[in-house]
Amino acid sequence: YGIDWAIWVQIGSIAIVLMGLVTMYWFIPRCQVRFKHALVAGVVVGIIFEILKLTFGAIVDNFTSYKAVYGAFAILPLFLLWIYISWNIILLGVQISYCLTIFETKEIFPRHALFSLMDMLNVLYREHKKGNVVTEAGLRDVLGRQEMPNWYTYI
């Protein structure tokens, strides 16, 4: 009636990877990321990462013909490929958490400077046509929140 520790070790390994990814996607960014967005990104990337670990292990086990010819150097290209794929998967999680965060926010993100300038000129034209004076606040309302400190660079 012993406990099958192999299953619990696998579950613990997966749980540690998931917790590490969720923590990384939650704490490392310079902006505020909601926990649920980090959790979604961490779980998606964790599942993909575990599947790729199993796939990579199977590939390395079946890579015997090159080992006989090249010896230990045969594993070097596979190792470099594994590092490349791993970082791409981690960056996929960064994109997932970023997209989930950005689609939920109400903040207007900056556009190209030419479009912002055209919008400001449109406000100036409309207000001039009405005979009104355009205030600084009126021009800043055209820009997104992140561009407001630099509004004068568009003039």
Q: Please tell me the predicted confidence (pLDDT) of residue 109.
A: 57
120 and 139 Cβ atoms separated by less than 8 Å = yes
Q: What are 37-49's pLDDT values in tens digits? A: 999 999 999 999 9
14-41 confidence digits (pLDDT tens)? 999 999 999 999 999 877 888 999 999 9
Could you tell me the pLDDT band of residue 116, with boundaries at 50, 70 and 90?
Answer: confident
Q: Are 151 and 143 in contact (CB under 8 A)?
A: yes
Give me the pLDDT at residue 1, please.
Answer: 61
Spatial distance between the Cα atoms of 104 and 98, rounded to a whole number of angstroms: 10
Q: What is the mean pLDDT of residues 133-143?
A: 74
Helix (H, G, I), strand (E, B) or coil at 34: coil
Q: What is the pTM of this model?
A: 0.62
Q: Which residues have a Cβ under 8 Å from the Cβ of 140 and sit 6 or more positions away? A: 148, 151
Token pair recorded at residue 82 = 């594994």
Cα atoms in the 13 Å half-sphere on the side-chain side of 152: 2
Least Cα distance to 113 among 64, 152, 74, 70 occurs for 152
Q: What is the largest CA-CA distance in the chain?
A: 90
Q: How far apart are CA 79 and CA 59, in angstroms?
A: 11
Residue count of the chain? 155
Q: What is the pLDDT of residue 75?
A: 78
Kindly report the average pLDDT of the chain as a whole number. 82
pLDDT at 68: 72
Q: Return d(Cα 116, Cα 152) in angstroms, integer.
A: 11
State the pLDDT at residue 12: 92
Question: pLDDT, tens digit, for every residue of 48-102?
Answer: 999 999 998 888 788 777 767 777 777 788 889 899 999 999 999 999 998 887 7
Flag whether pLDDT at 7 surpasses 60. Answer: yes
* Of the candidate ranges 7-11, 49-53, 132-136, 148-152, the one whose mean pLDDT is the lowest: 148-152
